[in-house]
């Protein structure tokens, strides 16, 4: 793969740009769900005039296993730790009651305050992109329901997660505590500026899209660490990037088209 050193408008750190790992879509193209992850909620069974079933604990376990086999492993996610974490994390505990019948479906779901819980495949893919190991320290920007933090916690990661919406931060904190995740710390703060107190981090994951690369997050990344983040305009298709710090340089890999809710805060 060819690469060249250029200095983008992301600050003074040189950025090495690698080729796209997925087929990026142009504004004229419509991303296909089988190839490009799109974070757009679908209607519930109830909204379609159907009565959602009431799953049992056993059916959740079976459904979760099928989710990993059919939606995640079949699409190329292969890290054993990520797959095991996706099998272990009870996603149904992180969705609204009215979407319970879709807890393990292959699409994102709405949560409160206009936010979403991401498609399971996207959660697994971005987690694998972090390339983290047991005992690493990871910063998450955008706690939301707490599901992504729980997946990382299942991998024996020390998770520091920030959420700008106070009510979501409070709900996620209580939910994670009730489920026994003791290796997750939460904070209600503007995620654009990270969480400097515990920096530097082995990896940083951003689950909402800014329109540019936040320099405070790059500054809080360890040498050799990775930042996984969607970047692009609000309400449009964005690009999923992996930025890796190598000394005083940042290597950037374009992973193609995605769509996330916008990263809100003072930077806007």
Written as six digits, the tokens of 129 are 């992109």
Give the pLDDT confidence score for residue 89 in this predicted structure: 97
Question: 4-258 domain in CATH 3.40.50.150?
Answer: yes
Residue 81: pLDDT band by 50, 70, 90 thresholds? very high
Phi-psi region of 65 (alpha: psi -120 to 50; beta: other; left: phi over 0): alpha
Give the pLDDT confidence score for residue 267 in this predicted structure: 62
Query: How many residues does this entry show for the chain?
Result: 268
pLDDT mean over 81-91:
97
Query: Is a pLDDT exceeding 60 seen at residue 34?
Result: no
Q: How far is the C-alpha of 261 from the C-alpha of 191, rounded, in Å?
A: 14
**In angstroms, what CA-CA distances link 111 with 6, 59, 146, 209, 243?**
39, 23, 11, 17, 28
Of 56 and 112, the one with more pLDDT: 112
Q: Summarize pLDDT for 133-144 with one digit per residue, the tens.
A: 999 999 999 999
Residue 36: pLDDT band by 50, 70, 90 thresholds? very low
Give the pLDDT confidence score for residue 39 in this predicted structure: 42
Give the percent of the chain with pLDDT over 90. Answer: 73
Written as six digits, the tokens of 105 are 């479906």
Q: Summarize pLDDT for 158-207 with one digit per residue, the tens.
A: 999 999 999 999 999 999 999 999 999 999 999 999 999 999 999 999 99
**In angstroms, what CA-CA distances link 149 with 40, 43, 46, 98?**
21, 25, 29, 22
Give the pLDDT confidence score for residue 4 in this predicted structure: 33
Give the SS3 label for residue 114.
helix
Nearest residue to 186 via CA among 208, 212, 164, 213: 164
Query: Is a pLDDT exceeding 70 seen at residue 41?
Result: no
Catalytic residue positions? 118
pLDDT mean over 204-223:
96
Give the pLDDT confidence score for residue 268 in this predicted structure: 55
Give the SS3 label for residue 244.
strand
Query: Is a pLDDT exceeding 60 seen at residue 17?
Result: no
User: pTM of the entire structure?
Assistant: 0.81
Segment among 18-27, 85-94, 161-170 with least mean pLDDT:
18-27
């Amino acid at each position: 793969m060819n690469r060249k050193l250029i200095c983008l408008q992301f600050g003074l750190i040189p950025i090495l740009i690698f080729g796209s790992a997925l087929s990026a879509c142009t504004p004229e193209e419509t991303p296909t769900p089988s190839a490009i992850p799109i974070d757009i909620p679908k209607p519930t069974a109830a909204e379609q005039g159907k009565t959602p079933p009431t799953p049992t604990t056993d059916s959740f376990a079976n459904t979760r296993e099928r989710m990993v086999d059919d939606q995640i492993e079949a699409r190329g996610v292969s890290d054993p730790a990520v797959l095991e974490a996706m099998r272990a994390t009870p996603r149904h505990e992180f969705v609204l009651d009215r979407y319970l019948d879709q807890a393990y479906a292959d699409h994102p779901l709405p949560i409160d305050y206009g936010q979403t819980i991401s498609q399971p495949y996207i959660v697994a893919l971005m987690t694998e992109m972090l390339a983290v190991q047991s005992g690493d320290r990871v910063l998450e920007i955008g706690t939301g329901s707490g599901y992504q933090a729980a997946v990382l916690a299942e991998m024996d990661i020390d998770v520091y997660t920030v959420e700008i919406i106070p009510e979501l931060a409070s709900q996620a904190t209580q939910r994670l505590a009730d489920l026994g995740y003791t290796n997750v710390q939460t904070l209600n703060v503007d995620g654009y500026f990270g969480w400097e107190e515990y920096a530097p981090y082995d990896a940083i994951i951003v689950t909402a899209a800014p329109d540019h690369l936040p320099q405070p997050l790059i500054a809080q990344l360890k040498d050799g660490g990775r930042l996984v983040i969607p970047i692009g305009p609000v309400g449009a298709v964005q690009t999923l990037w992996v930025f890796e710090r190598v000394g005083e340089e940042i290597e950037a890999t374009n992973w193609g088209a995605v769509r996330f809710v916008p990263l809100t805060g003072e930077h806007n």
